[in-house]
């Protein structure tokens, strides 16, 4: 269960730091709807794992997950994304410099997140328009007035990208030097991380540090710590140079209005995570309750529920979602007084998108659970419970639900990546998130025009694609590990 503790630390540290920062800077904390739900979800997960730790039969499959090197490496990547998403979920309204008339604190109308604060440089160093990754000059020629008053048509220098360079020919060397310095720092951090890990492991198993260290390097530990360390090392080796370069350059270029694409990609992570997790939160009670009820009670209840989801399934999902989103949008637009800030309005729309997606996607899991409940209700321990006169509610909660939880869990993890992709598709079609919300979908939507330009602007699409790909791949690999560990049919031969 050690990876769980590690996960908990990774989650709690940034959250605590963020809260502290908000309190110290006397900003006004803002809890958006999705923030609240995310924290609720975190609390639920923490409670679940705390419960699992105390129950051997529940902990055993998680232990198998923890022993899978692919799964755990994917988890490391996923955790990095989740950490970014969580930092981006602490919202506040910064305090303005000059106090109000009565000396009280006045707060800006703009809602920022901790990520915005940390990436203030990225956010504020905007260019006028497109610039390629790591460029020092703009992407298209403009009329420039030289010092002597003559006008030439040339690529202008960027306001921020590489502005510190006196001589642009030194750019490569500068980049290389910064990268190397960052890599050295990354290596040092990684070494510290590995040493701390080995020390912690040694302390826990009461072994000598040297032995633990050798076991770690030889991949002889039960939890694949070496694979996880290597993944973390790769992540650090990418993140540190990117961070170092982003102080002086636009690592992934800028978009049409000159915003740093790296910043956009980082902001998109939260949107994807919110859609992927909150949707399941909406979907879960529906599919679990209705699916089990249909299978357990059969008869007219089964007919009714089956009829409901067959009908729902026969309507094209995109149409249904589009109709619902448009209705919500009209409601939001006609009641501007309900939303003090633009961020809150965008957030509510995001939440409704989750709810709508949840309402349209519960059918798959419900059908699966119906089949399982149909099978379980004929099992002898359920018959024995009937013979004891145990009530239906109790049979469902004590006998059926615990025996379908592995299916629910597998479905949850597998659905996550599908939902992240669904958001991108819906936003591309224009029925997804609010246009002011930064998401992979809106980035890709914008890229539609950019790809048609001459010369082509490729970096925004590439950045969105890479970030989404890595996140979904990590989620899928982790989901595979979970399924392998939980699905009894896949566990042949042990």
The footprint of other proteins (CB under 8 A) covers 56-57, 379-381, 383-391, 394, 398-399, 402-403, 492-494
Closer residue to other proteins (CB): 385 or 421: 385
Minimal distance, residue 402 CB to other proteins, in Å: 4
Minimal distance, residue 478 CB to other proteins, in Å: 22
Whether 424 and 345 have beta carbons less than 8 Å apart is answered as no
Minimal distance, residue 403 CB to other proteins, in Å: 6
Minimal distance, residue 379 CB to other proteins, in Å: 5
Minimal distance, residue 55 CB to other proteins, in Å: 9
For 255, left (φ over 0), alpha (ψ -120 to 50), or beta?
beta
* Cα(4)–Cα(459) distance, integer angstroms: 36
Whether 373 and 295 have beta carbons less than 8 Å apart is answered as yes
Strands of 28-30's sheet in order across? 28-30, 91-93, 112-113
Closer residue to other proteins (CB): 55 or 153: 55
Residue whose token pair is 């390629």: 132
Minimal distance, residue 310 CB to other proteins, in Å: 15
The neighbouring-strand residues paired with 93 are 28
Closer residue to other proteins (CB): 208 or 386: 386
Minimal distance, residue 490 CB to other proteins, in Å: 13
Angle at the Cα of 397 from the Cα atoms of 304 and 285, rounded to 5 degrees: 55
Minimal distance, residue 218 CB to other proteins, in Å: 19
* Cα(276)–Cα(286) distance, integer angstroms: 17
Closer residue to other proteins (CB): 64 or 137: 64
Closer residue to other proteins (CB): 33 or 49: 49
296: CB partners within 8 A, 6+ apart: 373, 376, 377, 392, 395, 396, 400
- Helix or strand holding residue 212 (H, E): helix 209-217
Closer residue to other proteins (CB): 50 or 381: 381
Q: Under DSSP, is residue 482 helix (H, G, I), strand (E, B) or coil?
A: helix
Minimal distance, residue 390 CB to other proteins, in Å: 4
User: What is the rounded radius of gyration, in angstroms, for the C-alpha atoms of the chain?
Assistant: 26
Closer residue to other proteins (CB): 380 or 454: 380
The neighbouring-strand residues paired with 131 are 254
Closer residue to other proteins (CB): 210 or 402: 402
Strands 28-30 and 112-113 turn out to be unpaired
Closer residue to other proteins (CB): 218 or 493: 493
Helical axes 440-452 vs 401-429, angle rounded to 10°: 30
Closer residue to other proteins (CB): 318 or 390: 390
Whether 235 and 228 have beta carbons less than 8 Å apart is answered as no
Minimal distance, residue 134 CB to other proteins, in Å: 51
Find how far residue 130's CA is from the centre of its chain: 27
Closer residue to other proteins (CB): 314 or 388: 388
Q: Kindly list the distances between the CA atom of residue 395 and the CA atoms of 364, 391, 449, in Å, as whole numbers in the listed order.
A: 23, 6, 57
Query: CA nearest 139: which of 155, 161, 154, 163?
Result: 155
Minimal distance, residue 289 CB to other proteins, in Å: 19
Residue 226 phi, psi (nearest 5): -65, -45
DSSP 108: -
């Amino acid at each position: 269960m050690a990876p769980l503790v590690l996960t908990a630390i990774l989650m709690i540290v940034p959250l605590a730091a963020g809260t502290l920062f908000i309190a110290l800077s006397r900003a006004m904390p803002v809890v958006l709807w999705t923030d609240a739900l995310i924290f609720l979800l975190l609390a639920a997960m923490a409670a679940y794992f705390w419960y699992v730790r105390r129950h051997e039969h529940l902990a055993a499959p998680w232990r198998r997950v923890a022993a899978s090197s692919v799964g755990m490496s994917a988890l490391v990547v996923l955790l990095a994304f989740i950490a970014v998403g969580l930092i981006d979920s602490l919202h506040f309204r910064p305090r303005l410099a000059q106090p109000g008339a009565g000396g009280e604190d006045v707060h800006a109308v703009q809602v920022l997140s901790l990520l915005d604060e940390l990436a203030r440089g990225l956010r504020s160093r905007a260019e006028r328009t497109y610039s390629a990754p790591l460029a020092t000059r703009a992407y298209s020629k403009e009329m420039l007035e030289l010092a002597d008053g003559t006008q030439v048509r040339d690529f202008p220098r960027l306001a921020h990208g590489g502005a510190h360079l006196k001589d642009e020919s030194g750019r490569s060397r500068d980049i290389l030097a910064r990268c190397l310095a960052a890599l050295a720092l990354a290596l040092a951090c990684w070494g510290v991380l590995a040493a701390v890990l080995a020390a912690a492991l040694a302390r826990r198993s009461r072994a000598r540090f040297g032995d633990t260290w050798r076991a770690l390097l030889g991949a002889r530990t039960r939890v694949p710590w070496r694979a996880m360390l290597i993944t973390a090392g790769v992540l650090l080796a990418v993140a540190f140079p990117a961070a170092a370069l982003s102080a002086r350059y636009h690592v992934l270029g800028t978009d049409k209005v000159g915003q740093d694409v790296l910043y956009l990609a980082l902001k998109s992570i939260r949107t994807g995570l919110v859609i992927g997790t909150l949707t399941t939160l909406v979907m879960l009670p529906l599919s679990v309750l209705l699916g089990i009820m249909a299978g357990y009670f059969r008869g007219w209840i089964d007919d009714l529920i089956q009829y409901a989801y067959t009908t729902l399934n026969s309507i094209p999902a995109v149409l249904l979602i589009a109709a619902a989103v448009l209705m919500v949008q009209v409601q939001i637009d006609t009641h501007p007084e309900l939303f003090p800030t633009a961020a809150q309005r965008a957030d509510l729309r995001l939440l409704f998108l989750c709810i709508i997606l949840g309402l349209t996607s519960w059918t798959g899991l419900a059908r699966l659970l119906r089949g399982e409940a149909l099978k379980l209700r004929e099992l002898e321990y359920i018959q024995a419970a009937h013979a004891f006169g145990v009530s239906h509610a109790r049979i469902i909660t004590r006998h059926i639900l615990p025996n379908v939880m592995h299916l629910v869990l597998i479905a949850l993890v597998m659905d996550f990546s599908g939902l992240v992709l669904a958001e991108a598709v819906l936003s591309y079609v224009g029925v997804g998130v609010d246009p002011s919300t930064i998401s992979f979908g809106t980035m890709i939507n914008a890229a539609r025009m950019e790809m048609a330009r001459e010369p082509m602007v490729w970096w925004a699409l590439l950045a969105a694609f890479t970030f989404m790909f890595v996140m979904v791949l990590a989620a899928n690999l982790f989901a595979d590990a979970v399924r392998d560990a939980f699905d009894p049919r896949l566990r042949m031969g042990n």
